[in-house]
Structures are given as structure tokens and as C-alpha cells.
Amino acid sequence: MAGELQAMILYVTDTHSLFWYLIASPHLSAKAKDAFDQGKAGLALIYVPAIVLAELYYLNEKLGGALSFADEYTRLSSSGQFVFLPLVPEEILEFDADEAVTEMHDRIVVGAARRLGATLISKDQQITAAGIVPLVW
């Protein structure tokens, strides 16, 4: 019916997906790029957990500073496409719910997607195999 509000699509991004999106890397799959583009078009929100920002900083540094991290942080934070998520201490109590994901940082990201009912933008094979949250890649 015309005039009805369409539900916003919710995504959570992992570190490599966000990095590859920001540098327009061919490593980013077409479906993952489409998810980010949905955000850019105002059709989706892309949540960025605090741990992803921290990992993004270190990945960028490790790879020689392909991004100006401070500039990207400012751009992301002022964008309507991205929403930063803090790490809330009580969330640690939910780690058992995501125990199929053994890496701590990934467990934090998966937990965020699970709590939000969001699709995770990731190609991580362990996360995929865990089957806890829907993924797009």
C-alpha cells in the first residue's frame, strides 16, 4: 500500500568487511557491498561494535594506513548509515549464548547481531559455521 513505512534493514559489520568497504576493495563481495549501499541509500542501518572500531584502527595501522582513521571515524559517526555500539559490561554475561564462536572479538560482534536481530556482514567461516546469526557475504 502506498505511503506505508518500510521496515529498516539492520546489519552489524565485522572489521574486514568494513575495512574493505571503506577502501573499495575487490575483496568485498557484491552482496556485502549491496548491504553497505542499502545503508547509504537510507534503507538500512549498519551497526559498528566498539571492538570493530578498535580492530579497524589496528588493521589500518598494520596495512600501512590506507585510511586516515580520524577522518573515517568522523565521516562514519556523522553518517546516517552507521551506528556505533558501545561494549556494555553486562553483555559479557551473554558470552555463553555464542560459545560456538571461540574468538573473543568475534563473539562480541556475533552477540551484537544476535541482540539486535540483525544480519552480520562477514565472511568469517567459524561465524558462518556457528549458525547463530544470519550472515550476508
- CATH of residue 61's domain is 3.40.50.1010
- How many domains is the chain partitioned into structurally? 1
The pLDDT confidence band at residue 7, using thresholds 50, 70 and 90, is confident
Whose CA is closest to 81, among 35, 25, 126? 35
Digit-coded pLDDT (tens) for 24-64:
999 999 999 999 999 999 999 999 999 999 999 999 999 99
Look at residue 99 and tell me if it is in a domain. yes
Helix (H) or strand (E) holding 21: helix 15-22
* pTM for the full predicted model: 0.92
Look at residue 3 and tell me if it is in a domain. no
Whose CA is closest to 37, among 14, 16, 21? 21
Digit-coded pLDDT (tens) for 57-100:
999 999 999 899 999 999 999 999 999 999 999 999 999 999 99
Q: Containing domain of residue 77, as a range?
A: 9-136
pLDDT at 3: 55
Question: What is the DSSP track for 44-99?
Answer: EEEEEEHHHHHHHHHHHHHTT-SS-HHHHHHHHHH-SSEEEE---GGGGGGGGGGT
Look at residue 123 and tell me if it is in a domain. yes
